[in-house]
């Protein structure tokens, strides 16, 4: 599993983020506090507090391509 923090600021960010990550075959979760949701679910993402960075957990050891595609959302 590989992790990073992301920030999704508005509806367009959420929509583009989900459209990008649905192309990956492995599971990706978003964690906010005690809540864990499927990152490929728009409704799941909206159940989280989007005012703070969210932890992304990619269930793969090779997430380089994923991180390159979502670089604009990664908190640095």
Give the CATH number, domain containing residue 26: 3.30.1340.10
Contacts (Cβ under 8 Å, ≥6 apart) of 3: 55, 56, 57, 58
For residue 28, the enclosing domain spans 2-73
Q: pLDDT above 90 covers what percent of the chain?
A: 99
Using CA atoms, how far apart are residues 37 and 44, in angstroms rounded to an integer?
6
Q: What is the band of 22 on the pLDDT scale with cuts at 50, 70, 90?
A: very high
- Domain total for the chain? 1
What are 7's two structure tokens?
């920030």
Q: Mean pLDDT across the stretch 58-75?
A: 96
Q: What is the pLDDT of residue 53?
A: 97
Q: Where are the alpha helices (DSSP H) in the chain?
A: 11-21, 42-46, 64-69
Half-sphere exposure of 50 (CA within 13 A, CB side): 15
pLDDT in tens, 29-62: 999 999 999 999 999 999 999 999 999 999 999 9
Q: Mean pLDDT across the stretch 10-28?
A: 97
């Amino acid at each position: 599993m590989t992790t990073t923090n992301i920030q999704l600021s508005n509806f367009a960010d959420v929509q583009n983020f989900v459209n990008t990550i649905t192309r990956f075959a492995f599971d990706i979760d978003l964690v906010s506090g005690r809540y864990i949701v499927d990152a490929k679910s728009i409704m799941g993402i909206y159940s989280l507090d989007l005012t703070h960075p969210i932890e992304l957990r990619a269930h793969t050891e090779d997430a380089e391509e994923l991180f390159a595609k979502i670089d604009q959302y990664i908190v640095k």
